[in-house]
Chain A
């Protein structure tokens, strides 16, 4: 009786802390959405209220009419969709080769590839910009779409997944005279779909949320992405464009949040994989 009571008390405390944590995490999102529905005056004077006194969509209207956000959506999508498609296809091909095609030198190349992951990204920042500048890609989508076409991490993720497919399946097809491209299309692609889903989600999210790439290479108003545009619109005066800023932060965040809620299990697993695989 005594222990039972103590256990339930500690369980109560556990839930209390977990719920407090959840509130701290969710509150800023609620704050963001609530403020996006307020008038500029209310944002300044009652920032904490989670229920707008006079709800308005002025911020959202302003975002589209004054800030031309459709163009920003378009730019963001061009890069994100291109990079996602490239990564899905190229990491599937390379992942298959590294897992199941025993070409000479394969393990050496694979080892080298993993090694490149250890190099801090800061080393590439300036020289890559010099390169882009010299080939005239600064201010062009190519600067993000071409170098971002395939990532080591995605190749690794798909390769680990394909390694689990039984060799017999592939060997049998090879003995039957099937070409590698056929094996890839008929056997590998259908089986590897879950891993490619993870690659697609992570790549799309990474590109959508990317800030440094667009800052370096798409830093002109007609090429701004959503993240870069948000920063530019914030201006220097506190409260400037307040209505539009809150509407824009909500609009930027919503697509990713929706994606997350539909497939959150894959999201979390993908991130957990990052740690377990290294």
Chain B
């Protein structure tokens, strides 16, 4: 029997990513160059953001004519029997491996290493991302040859789409019996966006041909240059860090100092160092892990997000530039920035000077009036003079931040938290580290912040009740449970299971 086999190509893509275009290109490439081509797919609901597979088979027409037959081509890939797998995204490459389409004896896997996050990854309350290196390792292990780079970036750079980059990488891989010119003629015949497509194609082709088809290993972030403070008070703080704290903690402490000067002033950063001094005085022998993590969380907590902070961040030059960049504003175009804000009575009271804020909270008619005016969200145009001055005015409220009710509340919580860390560290440093990490639960604004605070209270309460009898892993589990769902079901279950409710 005739040993010639069809060339079998599977394309894994998500709806709207051009998987169909790519399949059509391959068919056209084959049909114009002496091959019998067949492709099919199961689009269905996958067109709406789901994942799908396109499958192509190519068979040399001359061979079929010589043999006097027509090949019977399959309509779906057989695991273990695929020559080329093209994946438009890294998790889809993983899916191809999972489905057994990528095998070491024959499959060339061409995949983009960028990620399009799944809904599970995106909607997690903390960090739900999967580890890309795991996907890469599995794919590398499964494939005969694994060609990969960030094709989304490559597509963007050439003003084209990912299918053109994949097509170029496929040509560059040299696993199909067609020349570069034949590939390019196919793109030209397609007739849509030919120029950018060819540019994307060419870039990918050369990249693969030159052997640099793998992403360069991520270069570690350049360490910040040695601090060069100019202001005398800042210099004093920096010197204090360098003098009084171990070298391993200095980087994070300097970052905290930087954050808190920006947030409030140098004295506030001094308070931060005072507090950290006490943590370091605990003399926990864990390689500085407790001290460093506490420093990170303390700096974040002390720079809690209030209205003044948000207003300050939103009115900066750097922020305007960033928006301009993200919105892709070109020269000759004019841009306006509109903020979606919804300050409620509570946020307003928190921003007003302490006495005024307390008065408003407890007043009758004035409070109702403010409530009436804050029922709806507001759109503030920061790029207009009026809107900018408004936000700049709100940002100025940082001046009396120390007198606000919110500041008092946050400080009380911080002090209590630090106390718990200190007490716990005396018994079990590993547990103290978990206590420190619980700060992560308190984040966000309004309802989100309240929910976070509630969960924080529940978890810390449980830790207090259990005392030294609690295993560090249990506290970690409780914390993860608090981040598992919005309604607190998982946390309640977990608390009940450990009889800590």
Q: Do A and B come from one complex?
A: no
Where the two chains meet, the residues of B that have a C-beta atom closer than 8 Å to any C-beta of A are none
